[in-house]
Amino acid sequence: MPSTPLLPLPDGLEITSVSKASESLLVRVTSNRPSSPCPLCSTPSSSIHSSYQRKPMDLPCTGQPIRLLLTVRKFFCRVASCPRKVFTERLPELLEPFSRLTTRLRTAVQDIGFATCGKGGERLSPKLGIRISDTTLLWSLFLVKIPAVEQVRVVGIDDWSWRRGQRYGSILVNLGTHKIIDLLPERTVESVVDWFEAHPKVEIVSRDRGGTYVDGATQGAPLAIQVCDRWHLLKNLGDAVEDFLVRAKIRLASSRGSRKSSWPNREPTAFVFYHSQALSTNPGASSTKVGDLSAGSGAPSARSESHQNCSSVGFSSQYRPHVCAPAP
């Protein structure tokens, strides 16, 4: 029977039977195309050599995995000058050569891989009716065709690691679109120069201060403006400030230590008040203490008074520590 809306097939293929297996639906498909072009010389041939069967996985139907039992043929190539004498029938609309997944299933797996990751995609796929391993999912991402690199004006270049601490390459980013445009397999001046010579319209190069990219950009794009990227600029500033503090023997105290150290050097305000039970029993005494402090009895007396009962002493918003300082 011909293909159905539930399982569309290209022209020249028809479904012969459908059966239920333990883990999937088996759909037998046969090719009835009269001829097929040779993959080398592109000359059509109708001389059938033999047939064989392929078993690719296809998109699931109603949540059930589908495996195609695809019967295709081999043809003779009758062109005398062609080195290929026998070739297999190609079905580019459905299946790539040597692939165990149909084209539409491969696309779905790639979408899952880009949206999740290897292990995450492996856990999600069975719920969608796709049984696939994380290795196959990640390998499918390598099959995605990368678009050709267009001419760019502003390029950012930095290193990236194949294996951290052992092997590094170079990554190039189009700073106009913030997308990766190329990966160089090595971090050398020659590879950077070759890339810039192949893209002569680069006007601005954002790089770090490494000598490799300085020489590569200077030789490969001598007319381009070279600038330091923001991340390295901020990192270099932080390193310079840290180096200055070390050389000047300046130590930045922690926030808690800063509050403790600043306590004796600051004058308390006149609005020190008691709000303990003594206020309700002897309000006159508290007024006397406030008056003494306002008259200028000094910071040490205020500090000693405050440490009599740290939990009952309040300060105005002008000077209010977050924690009570320990008594001397």
Q: Grade residue 322 by pLDDT with cuts at 50, 70 and 90.
A: very low
Q: Grade residue 190 by pLDDT with cuts at 50, 70 and 90.
A: very high
Contact 165, 185 (CB under 8 A): no
pLDDT score of 290:
42
Among 86-90, 163-167, 294-298, name the most confident range.
86-90
Q: How many residues appear in the chain?
A: 328
DSSP state of 7: B
pLDDT score of 1:
63
Question: Tens digits of per-residue pLDDT, 294-308?
Answer: 444 444 444 444 444
pLDDT score of 178:
87
Walk me through the domains of the chain, giving residue ranges and CATH numbers: 1-94 (no CATH), 154-233 (3.30.420.10), 260-314 (no CATH)
pLDDT score of 273:
38
If one compares 148 and 175, the residue with the highest pLDDT of the two is 175
- Mean pLDDT, the chain, rounded, equals 79
Average pLDDT over residues 7-33: 90
